[in-house]
């Protein structure tokens, strides 16, 4: 068996993007491919290992689909529209809002335990504890389960808007046709 060595770096899968001598190997410049028994990333192309005569057909490449998308949700607190610096997102069919920004809009205080990923939120007599990635939430010490756990997306912590507002004793009204959430504090 003959093995062709590669002078450049390969990733953990044994592949890399072709940058030199691509045509010599039947590849396009910038095409991702493997060495020594792997296959290229292009579905229609083939690559020959010139030393062994073996030809490899590339597997189909699956496009990466983001798990979230920017939401058109508009949030009003006591009649004033909240202008988020980080857009609300639609994640697993639920509207999530930036934690820090919604907390500030509602006049709540935040604490964060980085080791545990726990977030404490308080306002007046209301206290809430959330943990990033956990569907368990505590309202004034009472444990309950929510549908969507707090999640970090591009460095911003997002929470389900309605869960957060209710945890601080606010009432909410959602209008699906206008994609508007009205939050009223007591």
For residues 126 and 40, state if they share a domain.
Answer: no
For residues 79 and 123, state if they share a domain.
Answer: yes
Cβ-based neighbours of 152, under 8 Å, separated by 6 or more:
132, 158
List average pLDDT for each run of 10 residues in the chain, which is 186 residues long.
Answer: 49 61 58 54 43 52 66 93 94 91 93 88 94 93 92 90 85 92 89
Q: How many whole angstroms separate alpha carbon 180 and alpha carbon 81?
A: 10
For residues 53 and 140, state if they share a domain.
Answer: no
> How many structural domains are present in the chain?
2
Question: Which residues, in sequence order, are bridge partners of residue 157?
Answer: 152
pLDDT at 41: 44
pLDDT at 166: 81
Question: Structural domain of residue 51, as residue ranges?
Answer: 1-64
Cβ-based neighbours of 7, under 8 Å, separated by 6 or more:
none
pLDDT at 20: 60
pTM over 0.75: no
CA distances from 53 to 25, 43, 48, 50 (A): 12, 20, 6, 5
For residues 29 and 110, state if they share a domain.
Answer: no
Q: How many whole angstroms separate alpha carbon 88 and alpha carbon 96?
A: 6
For residues 59 and 79, state if they share a domain.
Answer: no
For residues 24 and 51, state if they share a domain.
Answer: yes
Asked which of 16, 33, 64 is the last residue of a domain, the reply is: 64
Cβ-based neighbours of 122, under 8 Å, separated by 6 or more:
108, 109, 111, 128
């Amino acid at each position: 068996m003959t093995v062709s060595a590669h002078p450049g770096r390969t990733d953990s899968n044994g592949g890399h993007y072709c940058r030199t001598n691509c045509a010599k190997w039947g590849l396009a410049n910038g095409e991702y491919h493997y060495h020594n028994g792997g296959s290229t990333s292009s579905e229609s192309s083939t690559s020959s290992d010139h030393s062994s005569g073996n030809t490899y057909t590339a597997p189909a490449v699956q496009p990466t689909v983001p798990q979230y998308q920017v939401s058109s949700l508009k949030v009003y607190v006591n009649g004033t529209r909240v202008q988020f610096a980080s857009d609300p997102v639609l994640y697993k069919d639920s509207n999530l809002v930036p934690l820090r920004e919604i907390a500030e809009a509602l006049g709540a205080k935040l604490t964060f335990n980085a080791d545990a990923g726990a977030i404490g939120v308080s306002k007046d007599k209301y206290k809430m504890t959330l943990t990033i990635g956990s569907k368990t939430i505590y309202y004034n010490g009472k444990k309950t389960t929510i549908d969507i756990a707090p999640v970090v997306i591009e460095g911003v912590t997002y929470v389900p808007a309605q869960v957060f507002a209710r945890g601080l004793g606010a009432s909410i009204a959602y209008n699906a046709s206008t994609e508007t959430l009205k939050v009223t504090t007591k």
